Chains A and B, each alone.
Chain A
Amino acid sequence: MHELGILVEVVKTVEDFARKNNLEKIDTLVLQIGELSEIVPQYIKECYPAAVDGTMLDGTNLRVDILPGNGICQKCNKVFNIIEGKGKCTHCKSRKFEVISGHEFMIKEVIAC
């Protein structure tokens, strides 16, 4: 279950941010996970309560925003969704493209006061 280990790193970063910005109470943590990353959002959600146990984030809500796995086609220059196209450009069916998004795993923001 690698999601737990990764979440522990996330919690450390958020606690650090909260201390530096004098946040008193955190309500929600928002993460962004790319469609092409090897992180499974469902597991992240399941592990969250265990990962935040005993930390500043104990009892907070988690929201996960999914970022699309997009590529730009090198033949027709159009942007398309790689998962939808199953690895081929959805416009011209070319397999030559550059990934422009989808591998990210970001801490987007916290809703706090």
Chain B
Amino acid sequence: MDSFKVFEIKKSVYENNDAQASLLRTKLKEDKVFLLNLMSSPGSGKTTTLVKTIEALKDEFSIGIIEADIDSDVDATTISKTGVKVIQLHTGGMCHLNADMTRQGLEEIETDGLDFVVLENVGNLICPAEFDTGAAKNAMILSVPEGDDKPLKYPGIFRAVDVLIINKIDAAEYFDFDLEAATQRAKKLNPNIKVFPISAKTGEGVEAWADWLREEIKIWNK
């Protein structure tokens, strides 16, 4: 007869990943690579925003993009047209990137000579918020058609990010999106959150976002 006993583990589910993420962040700091983790729901405009961001910053920084998708190369193809280095990570059905997958992506893209790398995370508002990737800064996009009540429904991600980009403001009138209400709800969850309303389609507001990034990259890579 097997005699079963209780073996205490007492470990947070996120503990391993948090430790790996800290190691990765330290290494990126030493290597002077600024990593931005970009999160959102599917279709909120991550790839379109990235294209505009690349246009604004590519003369000043050497940029790399890691596209994480469950399965497809569409985004990587779009980004490659801007001329920056891009790779596609297939997450094999995973709904988020963890620190170890991020490390593998960084190895694959070869960060030597890059000073700014963006991770386009899997489209999802829950799990990416729970897993530290090791990025220097975290940003999320909330797009106008998704509604101004998202901070109430998914508080976790609004607490986890440094920046909230509100995209598709060109469509605000069609969706009764209250920019002020969305901003207040986000700030209530996270008083330090920076909010940038933009339209990745028309380019409106992209400059303020690019200015913030430029400063952060310079501070990190000093």
Residues of A within 8 A of B (CB): 1-2, 4-6, 8-10, 12-14, 17, 21, 23, 25, 27, 31, 38, 104-113
How many residues in B have their beta carbons less than 8 Å from beta carbons of A? Answer: 28
Pairwise interchain contact B10-A107, C-beta atoms closer than 8 A? yes
B126 within 8 A of A: yes
Structural contact, A109 and B13, CB atoms closer than 8 A: no
Q: Are A108 and B9 in contact (CB under 8 A)?
A: yes
Residue in chain A with minimal CB distance to B16: A13
A68 to B65, CA, bound (A): 41
- A107-B13 in contact given A25-B2, A112-B4, A113-B2 (Cβ < 8 Å): yes
Question: Are B94 and A5 in touch, CB under 8 angstroms?
Answer: yes
Which residue in chain B gives the minimum CB-CB distance to A104?
B12
Whole-angstrom distance between the Cβ of B117 and the nearest chain A Cβ: 23
B4 and A113 contact, CB distance less than 8 A: yes
CB within 8 Å of A: which residues of B? 2-17, 93-96, 98, 124, 126-127, 130-131, 154, 156
Docked Cα-Cα span, A47 to B11, in Å, equals 20
Q: Complex: how many Å from CA A10 to CA B9?
A: 11
Task: Let me know if B9 and A6 touch, CB within 8 A.
Answer: no
- Known contacts A2-B130, A9-B16, A111-B6, then 19 further A-B pairs from the complex at CB < 8 Å, ordered by chain A residue: A5-B95, A5-B127, A6-B13, A6-B130, A8-B94, A9-B14, A9-B17, A10-B13, A13-B16, A17-B9, A38-B130, A38-B154, A104-B12, A105-B14, A106-B10, A108-B8, A108-B9, A108-B10, A113-B5
